[in-house]
Structure 1
């Protein structure tokens, strides 16, 4: 019974982290739909990383748009 007090907050923490992760683009098609492009490992200055396209490619979108 004592372990339930420890497992319940851990479960809530994991569920909370998984809830927001679906907002970022998760593949190449979704990145292009949101007016971004896939860059290898980093994005150049006016762009910021806003999700991932694959393992080493990240979705880059303009900082101010």
Structure 2
């Protein structure tokens, strides 16, 4: 019966992590909606960082439109 008390926080922790994982999927479409593109680790020259697409991808936007 003591194991149930130890498993409950672990299960709640897993459920909390699964709930936040869907947010990264929407960021990529938000970047495209703002006329930007996703680049790995750094934006190319003549672009600005306008957000994040995921953990390693940045949302970049061209300076002149």
TM-score range, shorter chain: 0.5 to 0.7
CA distance 1:15–1:39, change in 2 (3 Å): same
CA distance 1:2–1:35, change in 2 (3 Å): farther
Runs of 4+ in 1 over 4 A off after TM superposition: none
Structure 1 length-normalised TM: 0.53
1:18-50 superposed Cα distances (whole Å, 9 cap, x missing partner): 11221223686x342454421112357x52652
RMSD across aligned positions (CA)? 3.3
What is the count of residue pairs matched by the alignment?
A: 57
Structure 1 portions without partners, runs of 5+: none
